[in-house]
Structure 1
Amino acid sequence: MEKNLPTGQAGKTGKPIFAAGRYLKYAIGEIILVVIGIIIALQINNSNELRKEKDQETIILSDIKEDFLATRLNFLETIKNQERSILGSRDLIDAIEAQDYSIHPDLIRKYILRGAFSHHPAIAITGSYNAIIGSGKTSIIKNKELLKALANFSSQYQAGFEDETKSDNLLNLMMAASKDFYSPLSDDVVRKSIALKKKYSLQEKEIAVKNLYENEAFLAFLIQKTKWETSRATYHKKLLKSLNKVLYQFNFNELTPEKEVYSKYIGNYTNKAVEPIKISYANESLYVTGWGGAKSELVQLKNSLFYAISWNQTLEFISDDNATNKVLTQWMDRDPVEFEKVEN
């Protein structure tokens, strides 16, 4: 016979079940709040990390830009001095080979000091880039084109000019061979800086020039050194081109990427007195062709001013009042020549 439970017995039995369910809901709620808190904390932390990384990137990019702007100035000065040195060496070679005694000894001295005995290395400032390579933090830089340009420049610069030591060795040989003429034709500024008292007469300088002209070893070394210096200047212009590609990524106001201006410059240019020239574009680079079919790649100095990499020549693109496009070419030792673009 089924016994009736006392009033309220079922309620007492259900309370623990009800309490457990309420506790479970409370626990789940607590877990959800903790998870949400963790997610929020992670988001805040990630946001802080991203901000720190962005700040680091800004500092690194600023340092790299500063280094490469300084390097660019170094390269421009080096290339200018190299070209003057090459011209001075050529003038000295011509004087020696022609045995030209009509040239004043002081001018011969200038050819020696600023040509034969000059040496101008191109120094790159890469401390900031080397630092991030060393730290393994290149991922901080988000601009992949910039990273590629930096890597290309660094690789080309570190490889160096294969015949750099030949030029240095030839310079040493030339100095050793100059003992019979160098003192009378040495630099007055250098002599004063080390307090030398001897003053050479014009006659003594003329004798020194005669000894120079008869020094076949010195001439042989000079010709070889001039050849290697010309190759070094070409190499440094190529380095400048790689450096420009880095600065293009910083929107440097003195440079406009060649791929953005080539359509304005390419074409045929004429001058009634000389052979026409052609400006072409290939592989993201401008080229000039002329002077008997010779061809040279161009490297940008400023927005409309370029070096011919293979020659001692600049090309400046200009427009006259009638919006006629022209190019002004100038070899280092010649007067400028103006060419007018032929409209297609």
Structure 2
Amino acid sequence: MALDRRNLLRGGAGIGAAAAFGMGTPAAADSSAVSSSAVSGFVQRTKRSASAYGGTPVEYLRRMRRLLIDNDNMLGPGQAIKAVREHIEAIKGLRREAAGSDRHELLELQTQYAEFASWLYQDLGDLNSARFWLDRAADWSHSVGDGDLTSYVMARKAQLAGETRDLVEVVDLAEAAQHLARPRSRLAAVARTYESYGHALRGDSTESERAIDDVHNALDRVAEDSSPWGVWLNAQYVEVHRAQGLEALGKHDQAADIFMSAIRALPEDYHRDRGVYLARAAVAHAGAGAPEQAAAVGLQALTVAEDTGSGRIFTELSRLDKALIPWQKQPDVTEFRVAFDGALAHEA
């Protein structure tokens, strides 16, 4: 039976569920579904690759994670998720043979890969699998004993709760991440950013603005933090989250202006994130009663969505598609909605 993908998206299913990307369910994501022979194959291939490129398996897998992150930013999650899953299984296999510090380094790397897998599934729109891998990362981070890593994973759980607009969990998870973080650290500021959005979802504009202002005021202080986590926290990142909160509060005009200003200041290599922010800006324009701007910005976001296969962008554009219905006979709006339908048909 053919799926009505637009209706699925409008109903909040997300592009991951609507598109049936074939990446599996949380149950299928468990390592128990991977045969021992497959794991052995992943391990042997990793060893051969490490030898060929000069280095240990841990060094090779760290390098590959960095390359996959860069690849994801430009080409989207669909290109990276298979390799990430295979690398996780390879790490598990290598841990069976390792001891001492090598075993600890592998577990730390496994945790980092699990968090990355969660992010990829989140961007696909498969939020159940995103939760699955973030829960695994949280469990493994406690075994690693790295306080910064555990704090970061908890902050990511707050972010994911915000993605699902969970009014109960966002603030509590963000506060828990701040308790785990080193005082006045970058990770504490990252978690405070997500807390701000949680307050906005609850309709508390005062607490939301207070939290986001706290983060802005902390940027100079945390810039020298030596932690490798949250290095992307900058003024533009904070501003797009301010705009996201304003949009949730119904302040569409302000949200649209701040989104567009922050987007203009983004570094050129923020390709996929630019698409997400453009889509959210378009929704804000529609909410502010500016359908022409909404449709024009939405078309820009759609181009990035098609390039990357980002479920987050498609989900935001489905909100835009619905918001533009009152102006559906206007030429600019018609152009966007026809292009959006064509993109959904192509994804199918």
Q: TM-score, normalised by structure 2?
A: 0.26
Length-normalised TM-score, structure 1: 0.26
Q: Which has the higher strand share?
A: 1
As a proportion of its length, which structure holds more helix? Answer: 2
Q: Specify the structure having the higher radius of gyration (Cα).
A: 1
